Structure 1
Amino acid sequence: MVRTILIVGGGYAGFYTAWKLEKKLRRGEARVIVVDPRPYMTYQPFLPEVVAGSVEARHAAVSLRRHLKKTELIAGRVTRIDHAHKTVTVHPAVGDSYPLEYDIIVVTAGAVARTLAIPGVTEHAIGMKHVEEAVAIRDRLLTAFDQAAGLPPGPLRRKLLTVTFVGGGFSGVEGFGELLALAKALVRRYPELSRDELSFHLVEARGRILPEVTDKPGEWVVRSLEKRGGHVHLNAQLLSAIDGHVVLSTGEEFDSELIVWTVGNAANPMVHNHTDLPIDQRGLLMVRPDLRVGTDEAPVADAWGAGDDAAVPDLSAGQPGAATVPNAQHAVRQGKLLAKNLIATLRGSEPKPYLHHSLGVVATLGLGRGIFQFHRLVIKGFPAWLMHRGYHVLAVPTWERKFRVFAVWATAVPFGRDIVSLASVQQPREAFLAGAGPYVPAPAQRAGAVEASVLAGDAPRP
């Protein structure tokens, strides 16, 4: 009998698990199903460059249907896992929820943005976990420039040219640096505006940014951003953002047209609240070193997990209880190993533990600027930026995506960035409705048309 392998989530870990299963499964050995609401896997390290216009939005999205040719894809969400009965509840994009049975489950649902109950954030902030959000951030900045250029100097113009990032991790710092570089380049196209009018704020609750790097490189990044005109607020918390008016715990206040929320990840609500699989105190899936769900003493049969929704033991840390950090580097490698281990168990072999030593950390800080650290080796500036681009163009899955991204970078050298805003795509019917206007039929013409239809026998009499 052909066994059904159900993969919950098509992000890094889920995509790579399915991709490798397709290559390694024998004909008729298993049926693979992936359930995800999006038809693509987002390559998140490219989102800061999507924000800056250095990478096309579609090139940061890897189509599931194009690259998972032997996998059954379901557009929807898994809202509950009942592993005792090997059944999940699927809520499709269209239609009613329904049960779906499986033999083996792989939980790679990922994490969600961590939000806090801060007044105004829900109404005015935007995240940066998905391609749509990155595109919206860029379009809002471009639209703000167009609007500000038509205004005299004053509070409204200052608000339009003020940007606030909340969260000083990799996502926040890279997005901040890239958007600041874009804004500085844009000013040259707007003679009505000056660089001094730009106001970029990075708010971090801790006393440092980029916790993945050591203190001195982190301090260098702060100095670099401030030298370029950015304001880095350390040991500061956002207290309110009502109507775009930012209030910080340090007492500082200012109006900001664009607020980007990059505070970090939270446990996936489905994993945390709607499964009978074991979870830890943080709401993460409990996973063994070999990526099977459970503990060494109590493994759960036919259940696997990886990625940001799983507490995968970090064997390279050398201390008990340590878990791998939730980043793309681990999720990709965990997905690949999970596929190998799953096939090994299907064929009666033993799975291998996940052990990965970090390759270092690299971040872009804007066009031509970056930082790389591997143990004590620290590289800054243009060489680190080149390393960032080189690593990620190699790491993005499929040769098709590599070529597309590289082509955009190559054409940007002689022609520069594209600065066209397509914010109107978020309301695609607005222009149509404005052109159509209210429909008011002419009474005489309407009555004559009805009478003619009745006499011809084409319509019933009123």
Structure 2
Amino acid sequence: MRTILIVGGGYAGFYTAWRLERKLRRGEARVVLVDPRPYMTYQPFLPEVLAGSVEARHAAVSLRRHLSRTDIIAGRVTRIDHAHRRVTVRPALGEEYALGYDIIVVTAGAVTRTLPIPGIAERAIGMKHVEEAVAIRDRLLTAFDEAAGLPPGPLRRKLLTVTFVGGGFSGVEGFGEALALAGSLLRRYPELNPDELSFHLVEARDRILPEVTDAPGEWVVRSLRRRGGHVHLNTQLRSARDGHVVLSTGEEFDSELIVWTAGNGANPMVHNHTDLPVDTRGLLTVRADLRVGTDEAPVPDAWGAGDDAAVPDLAAAGDGAATVPNAQHAVRQGKLLAANLIATLRGRKPEPYLHHSLGAVATLGLGRGIFQFHRLVVRGFPAWLMHRGYHVLAVPTWERKVRVLAVWATAVPFGRDIVSLRSVQHPRDAFLTGAGPRVPAPAHGVDPPEGTSAGDARRT
């Protein structure tokens, strides 16, 4: 029985394994998936996780629950040696080891692209994983609690200042949802003045949302500005040391929360630690049928899809274009990859990947959105409904669909949950504070230290 090894459990990897489980005959092949996380993150829900409109765990699809016939390895592939059909796996615990395979599927995904800007590594937080979205939400809620106990002044202004860097879908959606959450919080904090809120979106280009045309993008900018957001176009972040933000325009301000969403970069493992062919950007070279290589030089038993693969875009007008790295392509590529892999196992010809865009849809906060399909543009509440409808259909498994719908339904009468659980990031703090300093047990006939009962001393 041949072993199919899937590197990465994101969209493309999860859907490849999911479809293989359904289509493979018993004993036809063994499927192994390696990923450091035990779940697939449904990234379009992260802005709503940030805003509290979606429960964090509902944006994560358990690999072990939904891939019951796949061998799941909790670890990270650090090197691919396809010439010898083996990879190096770094497990969560223990030493690295070699793992053999017959067929490899590389769907490791991209990584957050960072720049050497002073203060970013120390202060910023990304928005690519569930943990990050939860941390952003908790920090924003905690900042409101802390600011409410302070008199007006620089520290209070810093706590109520939020900066998003990057004007793509992640940045704009996260910024819009954070802005909406902050607006709703003000009703619960009469001590705070709306004028003290300062939300900044910094984009190096002259427009945001490159997936939509100019007019809808300009409408989004106007909408965010009407709601009190500061949108800085043609602007670069120069420094964020100690939370002091310096922009290329000369503007400076202190910001307690800095969110980095300035695009994705090539996966270092794919770029630097594999003998499979990669292009100048560090992406896996993939044919239209998702097999690694080119039409002239195919690589046997190697496949790739998703954000770490340069998949030819057959729907594009010009030659040489690759599909954009988004969920819409990754999901469909994963499904086709599984079908093509099975076809080759059974002696049939694989099909090329061809997908025409279904349009672009984004949430800009509760009840606000933007949708574009060719010349059709929908704005406001209808677009927001379309966003929710599309993604509840797109999130995999009925179990997750029902859970998300249940949270949305309860939010209608009860509103947002505004409890911060930032302390969960340091779960031992309360225990250590309660334990206090260790007091030695007194010798027989000796009184315990002043202020400490004998019982307390014995328990200590």
Q: What TM-score comes out, normalization by structure 1 length?
A: 0.96
Provide the C-alpha distance between the structure 1 equivalents of 2:193 and 2:332, rounded to a whole number of angstroms.
Answer: 46
Secondary structure, counterpart of 1:188 in structure 2: helix
- The letter of the residue matching 1:112 is V
Cα distance in 2 for partners of 1:435, 1:187 equals 33
Equivalent residue number for residue 220 of structure 2: 221
SS at match of 2:195: helix
- Does residue 365 in structure 1 map to residue 369 in structure 2? no
Is residue 251 of structure 2 the alignment partner of residue 252 of structure 1?
Answer: yes
Q: Deviations over 1:338-363 (max 9, x none)?
A: 00000000000000000000000000
Measure the CA separation in 1 of the matches of 2:318 and 2:443.
86
Other-structure match for 1:147: 146
Deviation at 1:44, TM superposition (A): 0.1
Q: Which amino acid aligns with 1:266?
A: G
- Corresponding residue of 1:169: 168
Q: Which residue of 1 aligns with 2:54?
A: 55
Separation in structure 1 between the aligned mates of residue 266 and residue 220 of structure 2, nearest angstrom: 29
Matched, 1:81 2:57: no
> Hey, what's the Cα distance between the residues in 1 that align with 2:54 and 2:194?
24
1:2-151 correspondence to structure 2 within 5 Å? 2-151=1-150
Map 1:282-321 onto structure 2 (within 5 A).
Answer: 282-321=281-320
Alignment of 1:337-352 (within 5 A): 337-352=336-351
CA distance in 2, matches of 1:176, 1:445: 64
Instruction: Tell me the CA shift for residue 100 of structure 1.
Output: 0.2
Q: 1:418 maps to which residue?
A: 417
**Corresponding position of 1:178:** 177
Letter in 1 for 2:188: R
Residue 459 of structure 1 corresponds to none
CA drift at 1:112:
0.2
Q: Distance in 2 between matches of 1:196 and 1:382?
A: 26
Residue type at the aligned position of 1:290 = D
Cα distance in 2, alignment partners of residues 372 and 333 from structure 1:
20
**Match for 2:59: what amino acid?**
A
**What is the alpha-carbon distance in structure 1 between the residues aligned to residue 329 and residue 310 of structure 2?**
12
Shift of 1:446: 12
Secondary structure of the 1:77 match is strand
For 1:46 and 1:442, the matched residues in 2 are separated by: 54
Q: Secondary structure at the match of 1:345?
A: helix
Deviation string for 1:173-211 (max 9, x for gaps)?
000000000000000000100211110000000000000
Distance 1:446 1:22, change over 3 A: farther
Change in CA separation of 1:369 and 1:442 when aligned onto 2, cut-off 3 Å = same
SS at match of 1:428: coil
Structure-1 separation of matches of 2:128 and 2:438: 41
The alignment status of 1:271 with 2:270, answered yes or no, reads yes
- DSSP 3-state at the match of 1:91: strand
**Partners in 1 of 2:445 and 2:67 — Cα distance?**
55
**What residue identity is the alignment partner of 1:17?**
T
* 1:440 corresponding residue in structure 2: 439
Aligned residue in 2 for 1:428:
427
Tell me the SS of whatever aligns to 1:444. coil
Secondary structure in 2 aligned to 1:84? helix
- Please give the alpha-carbon distance, in whole angstroms, between the structure 2 residues aligned to 1:142 and 1:395: 30
Shift of 1:318: 2.4
Q: Identify the residue that residue 189 of structure 1 maps to in structure 2.
A: 188
Q: 1:414 and 1:84, CA in 2 relative to 1: closer, same or farther beyond 3 A?
A: same
Following superposition, the deviation at residue 442 of structure 1 comes to: 2.9
| Contiguous gaps of at least 5 residues in structure 2 | 447-460
Please give the alpha-carbon distance, in whole angstroms, between the structure 2 residues aligned to 1:404 and 1:38.
Answer: 21
Paired AA for residue 359 in structure 2:
G
Partners of 2:441 and 2:62 lie apart in 1 by: 50
2:378 paired residue number: 379
Q: Which amino acid aligns with 1:123?
A: E
Q: Write out per-residue CA displacement over residues 264-285 of structure 1, whole angstroms, 9 at most, x where no aligned residue.
A: 0000000000000000000000
1:460 corresponds to which residue?
A: none
User: What's the secondary structure of 1:318's corresponding residue?
Assistant: coil
CA distance in 1, matches of 2:82, 2:199: 48
Q: What is the CA distance between 1:84 and its match in structure 2?
A: 0.2
Quick one: distance in 1 between partners of 2:377 and 2:353?
A: 27
1:320–1:433 distance in 2 versus 1, CA, 3 Å = same
Alignment of 1:198-217 (within 5 A): 198-217=197-216
For structure 1, the 5+ residue unaligned runs are: 448-462
Amino acid in the other structure paired with 1:32: V
Question: Which whole-Å CA distance do the structure 1 matches of 2:7 and 2:90 have between them?
Answer: 12
SS for the counterpart of 1:99 is strand
1:398 is displaced (CA, Å) by: 0.2
Amino acid paired to 1:62: V
- Give, in whole Å, the separation in 1 of the partners of 2:156 and 2:323: 45
Tell me how far 1:439 sits from its aligned partner: 1.2
Identity of aligned residues (%): 85
* Counterpart-to-counterpart distance in 2, 1:312 and 1:264: 18
Q: Which SS does the other structure have where 2:78 is aligned?
A: strand
- Post-superposition Cα deviations, 1:366-419, rounded to whole Å, max 9, x if no partner, equal 000000000000000000000000000000000000000000000000000000
Question: Tell me, what secondary structure is at the counterpart of 2:128?
Answer: coil
Give me the whole-angstrom Cα distance separating, in 2, the residues matched to 1:82 and 1:262: 32
2:83 counterpart SS class: coil
**Could you say what secondary structure the match of 1:390 adopts?**
helix
1:120-169 Cα deviation digits (max 9, x unpaired): 00000000000000000000000000000000000000000000000000
RMSD: 1.1
Distance in 2, Cα, partners of 1:344 & 1:244: 54
Q: Which amino acid aligns with 1:158?
A: R
Aligned pairs, number: 447
- In structure 1, what is the equivalent of residue 452 of structure 2? none
Structure 2 CA distance, aligned partners of 1:216 and 1:65?
44
Q: Provide the C-alpha distance between the structure 1 equivalents of 2:318 and 2:219, rounded to a whole number of angstroms.
A: 30
Q: Which amino acid aligns with 1:343?
A: I
Q: What code does the residue aligned with 2:249 have?
A: T
Letter in 1 for 2:260: W
CA distance in 1 between partners of 2:427 and 2:91 (Å): 24
Equivalent position amino acid for 1:392 in 2: H
In structure 1, the residue matched to 2:242 is 243
TM-score, normalised via structure 2 length: 0.96
SS in 1 for 2:259: strand
